[in-house]
Each structure stands twice: as C-alpha cells, then as structure tokens.
Amino acid sequence: MHGITDFCLVLTCEDSVFWLEDSSGIIYYWSCIDDTMICKGDNLEEALTNYLYYQKNLYYVNENTFKLVPIHAFDKEAEEWAKSSEAYLDIDIIKESLKHKLKIGEKKKQQKKQKKKKSKKKY
C-alpha cells in the first residue's frame, strides 16, 4: 500500500479513513474512498498539528514512485486541469434528446396499438 509495509493502526473512522504509524513513527492518513495516502508528520503530535493548523505541511504519497508531493502543488495542478478544455466532454444534447423523444414516441404508438387490440376483442 503506497510502499508502506510495516505499520500499525492509530485511528480509524467508519472503516474508510485510517491513520497509520510506520515503524519509524511517521503518521500517514489513508482513505480507501479515494485511495489516497497522505504523510501527516514525523510523529502523532506533529501529524495532529499539521492536520489542524498547517495543511501546507501535508504531502500526498505518489502510489507509483512513493515520492512525497505537496498537497498544494497537487491541488494547483487539479485546478489548472479543471480550467482546461480537456476537463469537459462535448456532448450533443440535441441528438440525445431527439433519440429520447423517438423512443418515447415508439412506446406511445405501441401502447395505442395494444389498447385498440384490447377494445376490438371486447366486442
């Protein structure tokens, strides 16, 4: 898990967020919701201080290289990507709505045919 193999559980919240301590005392935060690992500090006191007051001292652990990436650098990169044109999908709403209308129209025609058949059988 993100290159951390020898750890003990310090804190857990609803089996989705875990605070872990490795063999050298470094505290990590792991979220199984989004599969992120954050290095919080060199000990529990520093980890709590960074978590509550100094978020600039928190680092993501890159799951491939195991390098520490500052959270703010990662957030800045995510903001830039969100502002770029690559972040948006071009969906032709008109074509989709026409397809939807055609499907609804076909269903209504079938329902009318079934009603006519039922009414003919009654007589």
pLDDT, tens digit, 9 for 90 and up, residues 4-59: 677 888 888 888 899 899 989 999 998 988 888 899 999 999 999 999 999 999 99
pLDDT, tens digit, 9 for 90 and up, residues 74-109: 777 778 877 877 666 655 555 556 666 666 767 777
Residue 79's contacts (CB-CB under 8 Å, 6 or more residues apart) are none
Partners of 4 in the β-ladder: none
Its pTM stands at: 0.57
Domain residue spans of the chain = 7-85, 89-122
If DSSP codes are grouped into helix, strand and coil, which group holds residue 93? Answer: helix
Question: How far is the C-alpha of 84 from the C-alpha of 61, rounded, in Å?
Answer: 25
